[in-house]
């Protein structure tokens, strides 16, 4: 009897040690501070390991995986609020909450800073970085494989139809933006790039009309309420351009940031292609 109890105890201890060892490299209380981080975490990590997501995670307008976020706590991103969650990993970015990140670092909390990847190569590197940080390298590779297999991007920037990406306030996305990467992968040339625009740039209505694009790709005009930035869509010249030009309204949730999930934006453009 004693030997059986002893053996049983040793076996139980071995199983427990094996369990701890298997999970030792995986953070168990992850906090995401941005909607971009939310998409990475929701794609790779089980809900029980997510301590909190950003306050935008449940918003179906801007969070691509809002359904998976249901039931998971959110945070407004203050240092005090996050410290109370006792996270073992916080996923932040370089353009939001710098002071909070500094306080969290001083408190000894591990921080993963997201960048803003533009090319598919950069997206692959970023996805692998997140996968390693959350202890889900295999899952990261599965997501990247899905991106590659689903999109099979073709470089048609020299021969495809000319697409003009246009946002409220007269803004567009030129060279070195993930929007251009998506346009090229969907088989379009980028009008803003042809004009020599770099990054997120201004594109006046006059320029847009003069360029006479083959297709308009528009986003962020469907937000509730009327504003000075959205009134461009009501301009007579814009209305006339839209009457004579195929227009694709892309839901803003597809443009959360550059990540493995951009295949959704590419597929959307391909399905709407005219």
The half-sphere exposure of 154 on its side-chain side, counting CA atoms within 13 A, is 9
| C-alpha to C-alpha distance for 119 and 176, rounded to whole angstroms | 8
Residue 195 pLDDT > 90, yes or no?
yes
| C-alpha to C-alpha distance for 261 and 64, rounded to whole angstroms | 8
Asked if residue 41 and residue 98 are part of one domain, the reply reads yes
Residue 94 lies in a domain: yes
Any idea what DSSP says for residue 258? S
Residue 118 pLDDT > 70, yes or no?
yes
Pair of tokens at residue 146:
């899905």
Residue 156 lies in a domain: no
Tally the residues of the chain.
274
* pLDDT at position 111: 97
Asked if residue 170 and residue 100 are part of one domain, the reply reads no
Asked if residue 172 and residue 100 are part of one domain, the reply reads no
Any idea what DSSP says for residue 161? P
Instruction: Look up the domain containing 236 and give its range.
Output: 162-254
DSSP 93-135: ETTB-HHHHHHHHHTT--EEEE----SHHHHHHHHHHHHHHTT
Residue 132 lies in a domain: no
Q: Within the chain, what is the greatest distance between any pair of CA atoms?
A: 90
Residue 36 lies in a domain: yes
Residue 109 lies in a domain: yes
Residue 10 lies in a domain: no
Q: Which residues in 145-263 belong to E strands, given as ranges?
A: 162-166, 171-173, 189-190, 200-202, 215-218, 247-249
pLDDT (mean) for 219-240? 71
Pair of tokens at residue 56:
């935008």
| Mean of per-residue pLDDT scores for the chain | 86
Using CA of residue 62, residue 63, residue 69, residue 72, what is the dihedral sign?
negative
Residue 187 lies in a domain: yes
* CATH value at residue 213: 3.40.50.1980
Residue 105 pLDDT > 90, yes or no?
yes
pLDDT band at 131 (very low <50, low <70, confident <90, very high): very high
| Least confident piece of the model among 35-49, 99-113, 202-216, 225-239 | 225-239
User: Which residues lie below 8 Å from residue 267, measured CB to CB, with a gap of 6+?
Assistant: 150, 151
The total number of structural domains that make up the chain: 2
| C-alpha to C-alpha distance for 193 and 197, rounded to whole angstroms | 5
Higher per-residue confidence, 8 vs 176 = 176
* pLDDT at position 21: 40
Which of these three, 114, 147, 170, is where a domain ends?
Answer: 114
Residue 127 lies in a domain: no
Residue 1 pLDDT > 60, yes or no?
no
Asked if residue 179 and residue 109 are part of one domain, the reply reads no
Residue 258 pLDDT > 80, yes or no?
yes
pLDDT band at 170 (very low <50, low <70, confident <90, very high): confident
Asked if residue 193 and residue 109 are part of one domain, the reply reads no
pLDDT band at 10 (very low <50, low <70, confident <90, very high): very low
């Amino acid at each position: 009897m004693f030997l059986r109890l002893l053996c049983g105890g040793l076996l139980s201890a071995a199983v427990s040690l094996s369990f701890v060892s298997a999970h030792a490299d995986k953070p168990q209380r992850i906090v995401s501070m941005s909607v971009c981080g939310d998409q990475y975490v929701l794609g790779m990590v089980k809900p029980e390991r997510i301590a909190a997501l950003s306050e935008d995670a449940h918003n179906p307008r801007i969070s691509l995986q809002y359904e998976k976020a249901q039931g998971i706590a959110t945070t407004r991103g203050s240092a005090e609020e996050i410290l109370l969650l006792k996270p073992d990993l916080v996923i932040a970015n370089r353009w939001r909450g710098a002071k909070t990140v500094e306080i969290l670092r001083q408190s000894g909390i591990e921080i993963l800073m997201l960048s803003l990847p533009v090319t598919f190569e950069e997206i692959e590197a970023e996805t692998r970085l997140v996968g390693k940080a959350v202890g889900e390298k295999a899952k990261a590779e599965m997501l990247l494989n899905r991106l590659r297999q689903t999109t099979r991007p073709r470089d048609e920037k020299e021969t495809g139809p000319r697409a003009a990406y246009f946002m409220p306030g007269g803004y567009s996305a030129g060279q070195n933006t993930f929007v251009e990467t998506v346009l090229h992968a969907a088989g379009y040339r980028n009008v803003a790039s042809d004009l020599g625009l770099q990054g997120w740039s201004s594109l006046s209505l006059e320029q847009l009309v003069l360029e006479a694009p083959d297709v308009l790709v528009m986003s962020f005009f469907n937000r509730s309420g009327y504003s000075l930035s959205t009134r461009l869509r009501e301009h007579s010249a814009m209305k006339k351009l839209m009457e004579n030009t195929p227009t694709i309204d892309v839901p803003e949730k597809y443009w959360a940031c550059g990540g493995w999930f951009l295949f959704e934006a590419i597929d959307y453009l391909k399905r709407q292609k005219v």
